Structures are given as C-alpha cells and as structure tokens.
Amino acid sequence: MTQFLFFSGKGGVGKTSMACTTAVRYADEGQRILIVTTDPASNLADVFEQPIGHQITPIEGVPNLWAMEIDADKATEEYKDRALAPLRAAFPLQMVAVMEEQMSGPCTAEVAAFDRFTDFLEAPTNGDISFDIVIFDTAPTGHTLRLIELPAEWSRSIEEAEHGSGQTCIGPAAAIQDAKHKYERAVATMRSPQQTRFIFVLQPEATSIKETLRAIDELQKLAIHTHELIINGVIPTAESANLLFAQRRTMQQTYLAQIERELPLPARQMYLLEREIKGTERLREVAKILFDGANLPAHVEGAAISGMVFTPFVGEEALARLIPNGQRRTVFFAGKGGVGKTVASCVTAVWLAHQGYKTLLLTTDPAAHIGDVLGVPVGDTIAPVKGVANLWATKIDPKAAGDTYKRRVLNDARERGRPESALKMMEEELNSPCTEEIAAFDLFIDYASQADWEVVVFDTAPTGHTLRMLELPVEWSKQLDVKVFASVDTVAADDVAKQHFAQVIDMMRDPTQSTFAFVMYPESTPIIEAYRAAEELRTLGIEPGLAVANFVLDPKDCTTPFTRTRRAMQEKYLAEITERFHVPMIQLPLLPHEVKGIDILTTMGEQLYRDEPVLAEA
C-alpha cells in the first residue's frame, strides 16, 4: 500500500528542505519515492540543483527518487482537454467554444492543479515504476488547507449543478462526473491513518506555533487526524557563547516548551545550520542529524567577512519610494513565505503613520499575521490601530468576502428584476469554491480604489499566490464578456468592474504611485523566488521598486566560527541581491527577540527610515 506524506506549515519554516531530506533518506533505504510540489512558487529544483518541471524526473545521484513540480498553466490545459474531449463530438463547435472560454479563468486553474495532485493519490506510478511513498511538498498553510478542502466543495458544487443547470464554472457537470468520484476517493485517502501522515514543519516562534495549531484544527474538522512535527531552526547549544544567538536561544526555549505543552505529537528537532541546505550530499548530511540524531559537523571557518558597516537603510532614493509624492502611494511587500513581509509591512506602516500620513495596512495572506505583529486585534473591517494615530488596518478573509460578494451580486440581480430561474443559475455559479478568490480580489480592488488614504500598505500573500491574484483582473474581465450559456447578461455593473480593474492595474504600473518591495533573506532560494516573481511582474508592466534583505547579521555580532560562516554566506547573497534587482535595498537586522508590538515597531522604523546610513542598534 502506497504511503502519502504531506509536508506543510507556515511559509519559510523549511518545508521544502525537510521534505527533500526525508525523500533522500527513504530513497537511500531502498524505497521508491516520488516527491511532488503543489506550491506555485516551487523550490524543488533549487534544492536538488537540477531541472525538474511538470513531469516526473529522476533525481541525479539518488537512485529510487523522482520529483515533479506541478505547473498550474500546463495542468489547466491538460484538464480542459480532458473535460472537453467527450463534448467536442457531441456539441456544435460554437457551444464548445463558449464552454472552453468559461473554463479559462483562475477558478479552472485552481481545480486543475488539484486534479493533477489527486492523480498521485489515485495511481502513483511512472511507467512500470510504482512508488512506495509519495511526498507532497505543499504551499504555505493557508493555501494548503484551501487545496485540501476543495474535493468536498467541488463534489457539492457538481452535485448541485446536476440538479440545476448542469453547468459549473469548471465545465459541464456531466463531463466532470469522474472527477467528482476521484475527489471523494482523494479525501478518503487523506483521512486514512494507515496511508497518510501530515508532517508540520514549524520553528520555535509564536506565529509558526499559532499557524500549526490552526492548521491542525482545520484538518481535524475534515476528519484528518494523523499529524507529526519537525521543529526546525533550533539554535545549537554551542552558540550560547554568542550573545545574539544566546538571547535568541533563550527565546526559543520558551516556545519549545509551549510546543511540548500544546502540540503533544511525535516530533523531531532540526538545528539551524551555518550553511544552506542544497544538493543531494548536503541533504544526506542533514538526514543524519534529523533521523539519526547525529551531531552537527565540526565548523569549517568560512570566507573572511568584510566587516562592512551594517547599513539598515540606503538613503533618500528608497525613502522617495515609500512617501507620497503629491498623490496616494501604495506599497506592496511581496516575496517567499516566511521571509518577513509582515514585519516589513508593519514597520513601514507604523513609521508612515507617525510621519502624519493617513495610512491603511491590510493583508491578503490567508494566514493573516499582521495582528500578531502589531500586538492588537485586526478584523475583517477597517478599524483604527490603537496606539498609532493615522493608522488603520484590516485583513481580507476569503470566506467572509465570498459570502458578502454572493449576497451583493444576487441582491443586485433581484433589484434588476432578473427571473427566479436566472437567479437560481447565478446562485449555482456563485456557490463554486472559486468565488472566494474572486470576492477577495474584488475587495482588494475596492480598497485599492478608495481615495481616503494617503498611503496603502499591502502585506501580500506568498509570491506565487500573489501573482495569481494580480493576474486575476485580466482573466476575470475576459470572463465578464462570456457568461455560461448567457445565463447572466453583461450589465453596467460589469463595465464598472472592468473600469476599476483597469484603474488599479494602471496604478500598480505607475512607479510614482506604487512600489513593489521584494522581501527576502540573504540565501539562494528566497532570492531566486523573488527574482522570478519580479520577472513575472514585468510581464504585467510592473517594475520592482525596493529590495528588503531580512535577518541580516551585523559583523559586530559575529563572534564565533558559526556566525562568521553565516555572515560570509550572507555577504555573497547581499551582493547578488544588488546585482539582480538594481533597486535601493533596505537591510533588516536579525534581532535577539521577536518583532511584536507597537513600541518595537516604532523603534525599528526610527532606526530604519532615515536618509543616511546608521549603525544598527540591538
């Protein structure tokens, strides 16, 4: 019986490296392993240091190990071909063309990726090779939960359509009946403790623990109960000789005790290492620590560090990309999950508010941690942030936005005198899972169109999902012109929506109004991911405006071989950030404590946002 392992957790906690480490270990033990990523911003190829892509690919130097990165665009085309193939011979070309156009939106892309993913829960084979274990390296938690909820939602959507119009936003119900049964089998497999385990990777910090608890609670609601933990990034005992790391280790001990109390599950610990985890030999070294409890290898003194003065801010050019210049400024913080986008956005929003600018801070990330960082509750409606004049905050909850959106659309249709039959068909379409994403973007458009604010700061979702959201208006505005079997006529409201979309896209393309700040820490994987995202944004006519390097070690804090080796690695990557992005760079220091609360955010803003370089203060 094939075993399935899901690696999940908050962005940036090390899911991919831990999943790849596990895959290499099991393959070396003689088991046939397939590792598949469902993350739109996949890093498998970076960790294995070889091309992979949208096909099952053998991993060089590791017999018994194969990998695949699900490509959403290719999966969508494959899905559409399968769904429409039986209809092409039975219906007129014009009708098939309408169906195909209806299936061209982001909704289909989401279910197509899931459809490809469930293939590996059905028949995990590659030619005559059958796999003993399939490992899923998933997207960050909020999106993973959404993926796992999809089968039940799509099954309901298909069933309702069968009793109504026979049409769903992913195609005719009759054409996807096999998919419904496949999704039901997928849920049954994920619920089986004999076949499936969910391994949550987390770090000993508050937001990571909170997200793991939330994810486990959500999975239990879906009757998925088999969980394990890998606690990653634990500072080695020997580094207590370094003041900065000793303080961070003390902080971690508190959270390790919390994990033991609140998450009484089988658990392994993995140390913070002095070098990146890349390449199969490095993965084997890490596996000895993770699985065998091996000691850390002896420190190898890295290249000499430059001792350059740590400059957390680069001057007036960067300031000019954050401050309004006669019109509203919108600042987007984007990047790989876990790089510190939320901290960067909160520090910036608090500082801008203190400068007297009326500022709105919001998140489109399903995990929504801005309230944790601010230290005050943040709800689904815009509200003032206590303790900071001129600052308001909110989060976009996709479920709440979906409910509001459905009510608004249906009420609008009733006011326009639509017949009950049309209303029923509209309701069927709106009950599909993709409505939440459409609704979340609609709310984003609303906030981005408001004239009340001098500055709007977006703490965006992890890169791949953010790009999907930004591309959505182009795709959806196309769909507004082609309604399923003309069940919904194009009305003036559609034209207003298109106009809003166009205005927001123009705003995002205008560097005098918008700044895209890519947050990364100075290591290969987040830099590559941020660069890919920046290149993809360029295809939409949007240029990067700032680079933010987070968790940077100050040379004066590097007093041990371990810290000097990490600093030498960071210096190499800081230079790479400058070479790749050609924009002003802000450096955020690695601190001895978590960034949490208005006082800490205020102090950080005062240190960072000056128009001359300053030495970082602890």
| Residue pLDDT, tens place only, 504-551 | 778 888 999 999 999 999 988 889 888 988 888 888 788 999 999 999
**pLDDT above 90 (res 391):** yes
Of 345, 311, 251, 249, give the one whose Cα is nearest residue 601.
345
Query: What is the enclosing helix (H) or strand (E) of 79?
Result: helix 72-88
* Domains 3-292 and 316-399+451-608 belong to one CATH topology: yes
Question: What pLDDT was estimated at residue 154?
Answer: 59
**pLDDT above 90 (res 457):** yes
List 8, 10, 15, 142, catalytic entry? 15
Max avg pLDDT among 84-88, 141-145, 188-192: 188-192
Contacts of 357 (CB under 8 A, 6+ apart): 323, 324, 390, 454, 455
Confidence of residue 173 (pLDDT cuts 50, 70, 90): low
Between CA 611 and CA 149 the distance in angstroms is: 48
Q: What is the pLDDT of residues 407-456, one digit of tens each?
A: 887 887 788 787 877 777 677 667 665 677 667 777 877 887 788 899 99
- Angle, helices 141-162/206-221, rounded to nearest 10 degrees: 20
Cα 261–267–271 angle (5° rounding)? 105
The residue among 66 and 225 whose pLDDT is bigger is 66
Question: What pLDDT was estimated at residue 181?
Answer: 74
**pLDDT above 80 (res 32):** yes
Domain regions of the chain by residue span: 3-292, 316-399+451-608
**Is 15 annotated as catalytic?**
yes
Between CA 430 and CA 404 the distance in angstroms is: 11
Among 88-97, 383-392, 585-594, which is the least confidently predicted range? 88-97
Homologous superfamily (CATH) for 316-399+451-608: P-loop containing nucleotide triphosphate hydrolases (3.40.50.300)
- The answer to whether 369 and 385 are in contact (CB under 8 A) is no
- The answer to whether 30 and 231 are in contact (CB under 8 A) is no
Confidence of residue 480 (pLDDT cuts 50, 70, 90): very low
**pLDDT above 60 (res 461):** no
CA distances from 241 to 235, 244, 289, 448, 590 (A): 11, 9, 22, 49, 17
List 2, 9, 10, 16, catalytic entry? 16
Between CA 443 and CA 403 the distance in angstroms is: 12
Between CA 235 and CA 255 the distance in angstroms is: 12
- Average pLDDT, integer, range 138-148: 61
**pLDDT above 50 (res 344):** yes
Between CA 298 and CA 499 the distance in angstroms is: 61
List 8, 39, 138, 565, catalytic entry? 39
**Is 39 annotated as catalytic?**
yes
Of 117, 112, 138, 134, give the one whose Cα is nearest residue 125.
134
Torsion of CA 203, 209, 210, 211, to 10 degrees: 60
Homologous superfamily (CATH) for 3-292: P-loop containing nucleotide triphosphate hydrolases (3.40.50.300)
- The answer to whether 507 and 513 are in contact (CB under 8 A) is yes
**pLDDT above 70 (res 183):** yes
Question: What pLDDT was estimated at residue 215?
Answer: 85
List 12, 233, 338, 340, catalytic entry? 12
**Is 189 annotated as catalytic?**
no
Mean of all residue pLDDT scores within the chain:
80
The residue among 519 and 10 whose pLDDT is bigger is 519
- The answer to whether 216 and 223 are in contact (CB under 8 A) is no
- The answer to whether 405 and 439 are in contact (CB under 8 A) is yes
Confidence of residue 388 (pLDDT cuts 50, 70, 90): very high
List 9, 14, 142, 402, catalytic entry? 14
List 8, 9, 10, 17, catalytic entry? 17
The residues with which 3 forms a beta bridge, in sequence order, are 133
**Is 14 annotated as catalytic?**
yes
pTM over 0.85: no
The residue among 97 and 262 whose pLDDT is bigger is 262
Cα 278–280–283 angle (5° rounding)? 70
**Is 399 annotated as catalytic?**
no
Coil, helix or strand for 329?
strand
**Is 9 annotated as catalytic?**
no
Confidence of residue 476 (pLDDT cuts 50, 70, 90): very low
- Average pLDDT, integer, range 186-197: 88
The residue among 471 and 450 whose pLDDT is bigger is 450
The residue among 468 and 1 whose pLDDT is bigger is 1
**Is 412 annotated as catalytic?**
no
